[in-house]
């Protein structure tokens, strides 16, 4: 699912940390897909330098035309001609390949952005080509071993081909030339940071056939064009060409650093083949342990996750919160909608004491919110949760899947804003879910005669300050199966909110049970909607945990 390079214990944004997180992109992708099916060789392709003719200017219109023409040609699948001395590097050796800061793109120019590049090697063996656009003219950025320090890797840079290409790039902003604000590395994966300068979840250009009974396909950004920012500009524009066995695409990213970091994305897609499950604006994250799911409870830390929930703003204006989980078996959900107003993987729990990890700082991981521009029509926000036993495996994927049939000859246009940061970019004006707790049901001090599951949902929001002294808050609970009992909505003065609590008694089936909850006062909804999917244990595994003194 995610091309990632491998988890690290120190998550600063210097070279080693970014590299390890980017390698986490690659290794996790392979792991995720192998949980479903084996990886297909069409995940990578060997790109060639692409630029307009000498008498033609580069533009997004030109790039779209090129992508459309490319879709009419057979896809050439190859892994790039990378010397074995690079492809055989182990993890520690690959970390020795450092880009020299003094070689940064626009190092001597009056721009608010600079770019540095990743070297090919280890798992990154498909070259990408970089170009700079200035006044409409596109000029390639040629690879040179002089750009890199090879450290103790035993790689002789002078012996490498001088047309090698790069593995990807990262960018810095004028407030800090050392730490990165965005990085593109591996297939079509990229990441960015807000003001806390902390990497977390990833995004992709496109997802194809995720969580299906056939190999997932990973389109690749093969070429990039950097539009040189004008002096005093706080934005930078990057163009990309996407290619794969089933589709080509032209992308434009307008990036503005800050809190949140924003990206305006324009994508023009041209299918080569029919595509069964197209994933637009895909997001990839990790959830291993949280308040509502402690299946892997052998770690000393209370919580381990890059994101704790999927948030959605539907076309009809309903705010929905779906806590993430780490299921025993792969779980797939599709939330139908028409012209969605937004969705994202969020990290709402920003309390260090809930993680206790002073190495990777999960409480600082950014939210990533997708805001569609224009009408996206009918489709669904789809969520994939894959079992994981380790935090180095990104097991969460979310994306928009259009309802329309995807066939060759189409031009599919999507535009959206991306918001990376620690503050939620949309506010409902209603109470929001801050925590979800689950456990055994029943009444404390009384013997349990049957099995039930307890759910406790904490809502917070300024709307509670508007409640009259005699106003009664009620939980509205819907379930697809089972019996609901012991319901309540109680004030939680320590958080300035309310807790909805109830038990759910399942039937004999182990099939998933879907649950919806919101709070209302005087018949009016005062909270967003909490949605959940619970997989009851088999009847034989429904332990009642009755103490011996209970009668």
Tell me whether strands 189-192 and 202-204 are parallel, antiparallel or unpaired. antiparallel
CA atoms within a 13 Å half-sphere pointing along the CA-CB vector of 27:
16
**Cα 439 off chain centre by:** 28
Q: Which two tokens stand for residue 111?
A: 């721009």
User: Cβ(26)–Cβ(53) under 8 Å?
Assistant: no
Containing 477, the helix (H) or strand (E) segment is strand 473-479
Q: Which two tokens stand for residue 113?
A: 């952005």
- Is residue 5 very low, low, confident or very high in pLDDT (cuts 50, 70, 90)? very low
Q: Which two tokens stand for residue 259?
A: 């809190």
| pLDDT value, residue 314 | 97
Higher local confidence (pLDDT), 365 or 551: 365
Q: What sign for the dihedral angle of Cα 415, 420, 426, 432? A: positive
Q: Range with the lowest mean pLDDT among 43-52, 219-228, 293-302, 384-393?
A: 43-52
Q: Which two tokens stand for residue 281?
A: 């604006």
User: For residue range 340-379, what is the model confidence (pLDDT) as tens digits?
Assistant: 999 999 999 999 999 999 999 999 999 999 999 999 999 9
Give 60-421's CATH code, choosing from 2.20.25.90, 2.70.98.10, 3.30.70.260, 3.40.50.1820. Answer: 2.70.98.10
**Across residues 48-58, what is the average pLDDT?**
81
User: What number does CATH give the domain 432-534?
Assistant: 2.60.40.10
| pLDDT value, residue 53 | 81
Higher local confidence (pLDDT), 219 or 20: 219
| pLDDT value, residue 48 | 62
Topology agreement, domain 60-421 and domain 432-534: no
Interatomic CA distance for residues 228 and 237, integer angstroms: 8
**Across residues 105-109, what is the average pLDDT?**
93
pTM here is 0.90
Q: Which two tokens stand for residue 415?
A: 């535009």
**Cα 58 off chain centre by:** 31
Higher local confidence (pLDDT), 548 or 106: 106
Can you name the residues that pair with 344 across neighbouring β-strands? 311, 369
Sequence-ordered list of residues with C-beta below 8 angstroms from that of 385, at least 6 positions apart, any chain: 287, 324, 325, 326, 327, 330, 331, 332, 395, 396
Interatomic CA distance for residues 376 and 374, integer angstroms: 6
- Is residue 245 very low, low, confident or very high in pLDDT (cuts 50, 70, 90)? very high
Interatomic CA distance for residues 535 and 308, integer angstroms: 18
Express as a percent the part of the chain with pLDDT over 70. 90
User: Cβ(495)–Cβ(434) under 8 Å?
Assistant: yes
Give domain limits for the chain: 60-421, 432-534
Q: Nearest Cα to 138, choosing from 80, 60, 190, 64?
A: 60
- Is residue 273 very low, low, confident or very high in pLDDT (cuts 50, 70, 90)? very high
Residue 231: phi and psi, rounded to 5, are -55, 140
Q: Which two tokens stand for residue 183?
A: 């990085």
pLDDT at 51 over 90: no
Can you name the residues that pair with 287 across neighbouring β-strands? 305
**Across residues 281-288, what is the average pLDDT?**
97
Q: Which two tokens stand for residue 249?
A: 């695409």
| pLDDT value, residue 79 | 60
| pLDDT value, residue 496 | 92
Q: Range with the lowest mean pLDDT among 27-41, 284-298, 390-404?
A: 27-41
Interatomic CA distance for residues 243 and 206, integer angstroms: 10
pLDDT at 41 over 80: no
| pLDDT value, residue 55 | 76
Interatomic CA distance for residues 146 and 164, integer angstroms: 13
Give the burial string for 118-142 (b: 16+ CB within 10 Å, else e): bbbbbbbbbbbbbbbbeeeebebbe
- DSSP per-residue string spanning 315-368: TT--EEEEE----SS-EEEEEEEES--EEEEE-----GGGT--TTT-GGGPPEE
| pLDDT value, residue 199 | 95
Cα distances (Å, whole numbers) of residue 58 to 165, 205, 244, 254: 20, 21, 23, 16
User: For residue range 497-547, what is the model confidence (pLDDT) as tens digits?
Assistant: 999 999 999 999 999 999 999 999 999 999 999 999 999 999 999 999 999
Going by the DSSP 8-state scheme, the letter that residue 4 receives in this structure is B
Q: What is the mean pLDDT of the chain?
A: 89
**Across residues 475-500, what is the average pLDDT?**
96
| pLDDT value, residue 80 | 64
pLDDT at 254 over 60: yes
């Amino acid at each position: 699912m995610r091309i990632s390079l491998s988890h690290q214990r120190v998550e600063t944004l210097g070279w080693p940390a970014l590299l390890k997180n980017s390698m986490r992109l690659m290794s996790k992708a392979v792991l995720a897909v192998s949980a479903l099916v084996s990886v297909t060789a069409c995940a990578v392709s060997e790109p060639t330098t692409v630029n307009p003719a000498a008498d033609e200017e580069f533009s997004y219109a030109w790039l779209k035309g090129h992508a459309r023409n490319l879709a009419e040609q057979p896809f050439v699948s190859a892994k790039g001609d990378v010397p074995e001395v690079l492809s055989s590097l182990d993890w520690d050796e690959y970390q020795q390949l450092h880009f020299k800061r003094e070689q940064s793109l626009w190092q001597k120019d009056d721009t608010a952005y600079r770019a540095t590049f990743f070297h090919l090697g280890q798992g990154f063996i498909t070259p990408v080509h970089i170009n700079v656009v200035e006044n409409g003219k596109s000029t390639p950025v040629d690879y040179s071993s002089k750009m890199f320090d090879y450290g103790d890797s035993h790689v002789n840079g002078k012996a490498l081909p001088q047309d090698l290409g790069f593995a990807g790039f990262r960018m810095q902003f004028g407030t800090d030339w050392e730490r990165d604000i965005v990085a593109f590395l591996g297939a079509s994966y990229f990441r960015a940071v807000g003001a806390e300068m902390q990497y977390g979840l990833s995004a992709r250009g496109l997802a194809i056939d995720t969580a299906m009974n056939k190999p997932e396909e990973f389109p690749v950004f093969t070429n990039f064009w950097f539009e040189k920012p004008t002096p005093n500009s706080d934005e930078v524009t990057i163009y990309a060409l996407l290619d794969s066995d089933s589709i080509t695409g032209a992308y434009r990213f307008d990036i503005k650093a800050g809190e949140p970091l924003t990206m305006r994305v324009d994508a023009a897609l041209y299918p080569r083949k029919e595509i069964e499950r197209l994933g637009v604006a895909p997001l990839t994250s990790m959830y291993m342990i949280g308040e509502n799911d402690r299946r892997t409870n052998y770690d000393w830390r209370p919580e381990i996750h890059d994101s704790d929930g999927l948030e959605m703003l539907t076309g009809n204006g309903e705010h929905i919160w779906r806590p993430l989980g780490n299921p025993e078996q792969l779980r797939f959900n599709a939330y139908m909608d028409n012209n969605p107003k937004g969705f994202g993987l969020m990290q709402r729990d920003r309390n260090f004491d809930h993680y206790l990890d002073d190495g990777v700082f999960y409480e600082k991981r950014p939210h990533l919110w997708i805001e569609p521009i224009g009408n996206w029509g009918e489709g669904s926000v789809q969520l994939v949760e894959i079992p994981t036993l380790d935090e180095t495996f990104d097991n969460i994927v979310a994306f928009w899947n259009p309802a329309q049939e995807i066939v060759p000859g189409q031009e599919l246009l999507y535009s959206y804003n991306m918001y990376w940061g620690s503050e939620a970019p949309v506010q409902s004006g209603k109470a929001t879910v801050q925590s979800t707790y689950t456990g055994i049901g029943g009444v404390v001090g009384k013997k349990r005669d049957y099995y039930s599951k307890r759910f406790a949902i904490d809502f917070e929001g300024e709307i509670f300050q508007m409640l009259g002294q005699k106003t009664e808050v009620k939980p509205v609970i819907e379930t697809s199966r089972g019996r609901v009992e012991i319901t309540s909505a109680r004030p939680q003065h320590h958080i300035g909110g309310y807790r909805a609590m109830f038990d759910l008694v399942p039937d004999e089936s182990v099939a998933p049970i879907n649950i919806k909850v919101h709070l209302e006062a005087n018949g009016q909804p005062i909270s967003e909607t909490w949605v959940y999917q619970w997989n009851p244990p088999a009847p034989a595994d429904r332990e009642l945990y009755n103490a011996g003194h209970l009668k």
